[in-house]
């Protein structure tokens, strides 16, 4: 038998963000009404956290937030997560399923309690956390409902940050800068990449960071193009470059930055590459302002880089992306990277936070990036680290 536990009455302490969370739920329901949705199913940990404040690691198993147009939100998870949800998401009803059971029947029962035949249910159907078997099972179990893809709804709500969110991003940015300084300080010929990673983590965590959504990316510029590879025990050689990209995490909010550092001496081509990358980053921050179009920002970056040195080969796929709430395995807020790309019609709005990234491949690989906040009249750089060509 399924036991419903009303966590709002389970003695959990009121969150300091209770008002913030309730205003987010209200905004979600307003958008649901606009789309004529009677209920919404969200599975990404970022979206569940955004609406309920649930920060835990149990999302590796299927978890879904059912948000009806009226009544308390329901969180459907493994039964063993009950104490965590009671403590950390007190404004929802926990509807558990037991290990060995398919969650389909539990989710279907919850939907029948809130949605009438013929009404529409929006679902985050494109998310990596919605197993195809469960998605197919729900549609088979409830053919009388109208199923609507709503994978963009949660991200749409999260695009513009509130004052409370920006405070968390600012603190994450400060810790990111401290961790970058420690990482650069640990780079030395004859030392290991793992020693650099240890310095980054030590500063980040001791400063108050939570585990970030993405591990720090630390690798030789010889393998710079292997974009999601990070450190190992390899020894750092004199004359080589080391790429560092990292972010601290505060209340699950991130503020990434990256720098490229050379050991003992920088090759002549690095001087030109640094100048091109820095010129590109300055162009991004100059163009990121309310009302701008993402593709125009990308064009300004590309023009700035090319003026310093023409780039050969395929153009870079983006020069930055929205950043904020993140859970492993990423800090981009979900499986889709909402980037500053060629052809993107996304309008830039006040309160957006971006990881502005200037990555050049000619005459050699060089990357520099910062987290920035779009303000009413422009763009504020939040992360802090030296931007000059750094040699240690």
Tell which residue, 86, 34, 92, has the closest CA to residue 56. 86
Residue 135 CA from chain centroid, whole number: 24
343-387 tens-digit pLDDT: 999 999 999 999 999 999 999 999 999 999 999 999 999 999 999
244-255 tens-digit pLDDT: 999 999 999 999
9-56 tens-digit pLDDT: 333 334 557 889 999 999 999 999 999 999 999 999 999 999 999 999
Distance CA 175, CA 309 (A): 33
Q: Do domains 5-158 and 163-391 have the same CATH topology?
A: no
> pLDDT band at residue 338, thresholds of 50, 70 and 90?
confident
pLDDT at 392: 97
> At 218, is the secondary structure helix, strand, or coil?
strand
58-85 tens-digit pLDDT: 999 999 999 999 999 999 999 999 999 9
Summarize the confidence of residues 312-318 as an average pLDDT. Answer: 82
Summarize the confidence of residues 158-177 as an average pLDDT. Answer: 97
Q: How many CB atoms lie within 10 A of CB 34?
A: 9
pLDDT at 17: 76
Summarize the confidence of residues 285-312 as an average pLDDT. Answer: 95
Summarize the confidence of residues 151-176 as an average pLDDT. Answer: 97
pLDDT at 159: 96
Task: Check pLDDT > 80 for residue 8.
Answer: no
Mean pLDDT of the residues in the chain:
94
CATH topology of domain 163-391: Creatine Amidinohydrolase (3.90.230)
CATH topology of domain 5-158: Creatine Amidinohydrolase; Chain A, domain 1 (3.40.350)
Contacts of 95 (CB under 8 A, 6+ apart): 2, 4, 66, 74, 75, 76, 106, 109, 110
DSSP H helical ranges for 115-237 = 132-141, 153-158, 163-185, 193-206
The residue to which tokens 């490229």 are assigned: 260
Least trusted range by pLDDT, from 5-9, 234-238, 371-375: 5-9
Summarize the confidence of residues 233-261 as an average pLDDT. Answer: 98
Task: Check pLDDT > 90 for residue 132.
Answer: yes
| Residue 164, both tokens | 């409370």
Distance CA 374, CA 348 (A): 8
The residue extents of the domains of the chain are 5-158, 163-391
């Amino acid at each position: 038998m399924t036991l419903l536990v009303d966590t709002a009455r389970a003695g959990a302490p009121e969150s300091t963000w209770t008002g913030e969370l309730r205003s987010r739920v209200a905004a979600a329901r307003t958008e649901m009404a606009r789309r004529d949705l009677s209920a919404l199913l969200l599975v990404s940990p970022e979206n569940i956290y955004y609406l309920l404040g649930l920060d835990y690691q149990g999302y590796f198993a299927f978890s879904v937030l059912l948000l009806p147009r009226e009544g308390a939100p329901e969180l459907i998870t493994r039964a063993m997560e009950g104490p965590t949800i009671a403590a950390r998401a007190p404004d929802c009803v926990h509807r558990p399923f037991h290990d060995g059971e398919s969650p389909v029947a539990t989710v279907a029962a919850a939907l029948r309690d809130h949605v009438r035949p013929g009404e529409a249910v929006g679902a985050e159907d494109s998310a990596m956390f919605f197993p195809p078997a469960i998605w197919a099972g729900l549609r088979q179990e409830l053919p009388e409902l109208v199923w609507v893809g709503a994978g963009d709804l949660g991200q749409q709500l999260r695009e513009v940050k509130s004052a409370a969110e920006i405070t968390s991003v600012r603190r994450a940015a400060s810790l990111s800068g401290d961790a970058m300084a420690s990482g650069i300080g640990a780079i030395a010929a004859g030392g290991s990449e793992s020693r650099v990673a240890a310095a980054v983590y030590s500063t980040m965590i001791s400063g108050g960071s939570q585990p970030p959504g993405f591990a720090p990316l630390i690798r030789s510029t010889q393998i710079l193009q292997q974009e999601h590879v990070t450190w190992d025990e390899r020894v750092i050689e004199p004359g080589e470059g080391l790429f560092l990209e990292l972010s601290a995490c505060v209340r699950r909010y991130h503020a990434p930055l990256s720098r490229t550092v050379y050991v003992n001496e920088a090759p002549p081509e690095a001087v030109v590459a640094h100048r091109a990358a820095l010129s590109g980053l300055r162009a991004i921050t100059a163009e990121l302002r309310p009302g701008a179009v993402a593709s125009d920002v990308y064009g300004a970056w590309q023009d700035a880089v090319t003026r310093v040195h023409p780039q050969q080969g395929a153009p870079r796929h983006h020069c930055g992306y929205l950043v904020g709430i993140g859970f492993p395995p990423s800090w981009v807020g979900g499986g889709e990277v909402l980037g500053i790309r060629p052809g993107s019609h996304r309008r830039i709005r006040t309160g957006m936070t971006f990881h502005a990234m200037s990555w050049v491949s000619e005459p050699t690989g060089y990357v520099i990036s910062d987290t920035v906040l779009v303000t009413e009249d422009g763009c504020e750089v939040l992360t802090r680290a030296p931007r000059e060509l750094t040699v240690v």
